Amino acid sequence: MQHESKAGLLRRRLSAPGVVRVAGAHDALSALVAEDVGFDAVWASSLAISASRGLPDMSLLTMTDYLQAAGYMNDACRVPVIADCDTGFGNAVNVAYMVRQYEAAGVAAVCIEDKVFPKRNSFVHTEQVLEDADVFARKIEVAKRTQRGDDFLVIARTEAAIAGLGVDEALRRAHRYVDAGADAILMHSKSRQPDEVLEFCDAWQCRAPVVVVPTTYFAWHVDDAAKAGVSMVIYANQALRASVSSMGHALRQTLANGSSVPVEDCIAPMADIFRLQRVDEWLALES
Ligand code: SPV
Ligand code: MG
């Protein structure tokens, strides 16, 4: 029997009952931690990859930078990688090149959002400018036409609610993007409650899988998201934020104490690092 591709695996999981649970990663190691604890897939987050380079998420890094980061995650992990590809790094032609490159790197899915390039992170307090819906739908059409394998997924993300245009505009756009061939819709919201997403799902009637990113409405339980008709939940930045606070805590304590004694019990033992690096598998190649 032929080995199932990661895109095939993700597509099958997305169409099966239950929610696909995805964790955002900033590098291969954080992607491995997500896989290790049991997440179904990894989100190669533009926010997290930018932060790992010490930069804001505002289209400063290039496609090549993001592709390299997603490729490292994909090489390290067995679970599928979903790449956050911002606006597609330009126009429909850039999207075609992007799809070719990401699919060739083994990434299972790409997600593009309907903002204009250069985009800013959805939570930064600044103006958010939406792309014309037809122009964006054309990017989706081109992405779908460009992919070589049948299972590769293109997720269309609408930022209508982020830009303050409301759920009706998000719905209008989502229908347009599914008409253009999108495999799933990421309905983004920065509401403190899941109200916008609930309103969306209610009207959407599961026309295509719905993906959500509960960063501001983090108390929404995954079982309630499932009941609302959500197919995929992405915890986009929890690992990044956890790493910043854990590193800060461990280093602060070590500096203050003059040794790492106070934190030894709460930092990963070296054995955990070796396990994630699969040191034994590499050593076995020598013998
Ligand atoms: C990311 O993780 O980069 C995302 C999600 O795109 S958000 O930060 O909510 O825009
Ligand atoms: Mg992003």
The stretch 41-63 carries a mean pLDDT of 98
141 & 250 share domain: no
Cβ–ligand 1 contact at 234 (below 6 Å): no
Crossing angle between the packed helical segments 28-37 and 238-257, to the nearest 10 degrees: 110
Averaged pLDDT for residues 78-102:
98
Residue after which a domain boundary falls, among 218, 236, 254: 236
Q: Is the CB of 236 under 6 A from ligand 1?
A: yes
Domain edge (last residue) among 236, 255, 271: 236
My answer on whether 154 and 263 are in the same domain is: no
Query: Both 114 and 174 in a single domain?
Result: yes
Verify whether ligand 1 is closer than 6 Å to residue 51 (CB atom). Answer: no
To test the pocket of ligand 1, the residue of 22, 27, 89, 122 to mutate (highest count of ligand atoms within 8 Å of its CB) is: 122
The predicted pLDDT at position 1 comes to 58
pLDDT tens digits along 208-263? 999 999 999 999 999 999 999 999 999 999 999 999 999 999 999 999 999 999 99
Q: Tell whether 130 is covered by a domain.
A: yes
Catalytic residues: 57
Query: How remote is the CA of residue 237 from the centroid of ligand 1, in Å?
Result: 7
Q: Is 195 found in the same domain as 274?
A: no
Q: Is 116 exposed, middle or buried (0-12, 13-18, 19+ CB in 10 A)?
A: middle
Name the nearest CA neighbour of 114 among 84, 142, 86, 145: 86
Taking the mean position of all CA atoms in its chain, how far away is CA 158? 14
Over the stretch 151-168, which tens digit does the pLDDT of each residue have? 999 999 999 999 999 999
Asked if residue 27 and residue 93 are part of one domain, the reply reads: yes
Pocket test for ligand 1, best of 213, 215, 217 (most atoms within 8 A of CB): 213
Assess whether the C-beta atom of 47 lies below 6 angstroms from ligand 1: yes
Ligand 1 neighbourhood includes 215 CB (under 6 angstroms): yes
Residues 139 and 220 in one domain: yes
* Cβ(142)–Cβ(95) below 8 Å: yes
Residue with structure tokens 């899941």? 194
**Mean of the pLDDT values across residues 56-81?**
98
Ligand 1 pocket, residue 213 CB under 6 Å: yes
Domain shared by 112 and 30, yes or no? yes
Q: Residue 48 C-alpha to ligand 1 middle, in angstroms?
A: 8
The CA 84 to ligand 1 mean position distance, Å, reads 8
Ligand nearest to the CA of 237: 1
Q: Could you give the CA distance from residue 104 to residue 281 in angstroms, rounded to a whole number? A: 26
Mutate to test the pocket of ligand 1, among 26, 57, 59, 217 (most ligand atoms within 8 A of CB): 57
Domain boundary among 196, 217, 236: 236
From the CA atom positions of the chain, what is the Rg in Å? 19
Rounded CA separation 99/51 (Å): 24
Do 270 and 230 belong together in one domain? no
Q: Which pLDDT score is estimated for 232? A: 98
In a domain, 44, yes or no: yes
- The bound ligand whose nearest atom lies closest to the alpha carbon of 157 is 1
Residue 146 belongs to a domain with what CATH number?
A: 3.20.20.60
Name the nearest CA neighbour of 222 among 15, 9, 40, 84: 40
Task: Find all residues with CB under 8 Å of 187, minimum gap 6, and list them.
Answer: 158, 161, 170, 174, 196, 197, 200, 201, 210, 211, 212
Q: Confirm whether 186 is domain-assigned.
A: yes
Residue 13 pLDDT > 80 = yes
Is there a domain that residue 241 lies in?
no
Nearest to 149 by CA among 110, 182, 108, 177: 108
Q: What is the pTM of this model?
A: 0.98
* Average predicted confidence (pLDDT) for the chain: 97
Does pLDDT of 10 surpass 80?
yes
% of the chain surpassing 70 pLDDT: 99
Q: How far is the CA of 55 from the centre of ligand 2 (A)?
A: 13
Query: In the chain, how many domains are there?
Result: 2
User: Is residue 2's pLDDT more than 80?
Assistant: no
Q: Where are the alpha helices (DSSP H) in the chain?
A: 6-15, 28-37, 46-52, 63-76, 92-104, 133-146, 166-179, 195-204, 222-228, 238-257, 270-277, 279-284
> According to the model, what pLDDT value does residue 201 have?
98
In-domain check, residue 142? yes
On whether both 29 and 139 belong to a single domain, the answer is yes
131 and 172 in a single domain? The answer is: yes
Say if residue 228 is in the same domain as residue 110.
yes
Note whether residue 1 is domain-resident. no
Grouping H, G, I as helix, E, B as strand and the rest as coil, residue 129 is coil
Host domain of residue 80: 6-236
Give the confidence band of 131 by pLDDT, cuts at 50, 70, 90.
Answer: very high
Judge if 133 and 274 occupy the same domain.
no
Pairing mode of beta strands 41-44, 20-25: parallel
Decide: 50 in ligand 1 pocket, CB within 6 A.
Answer: no
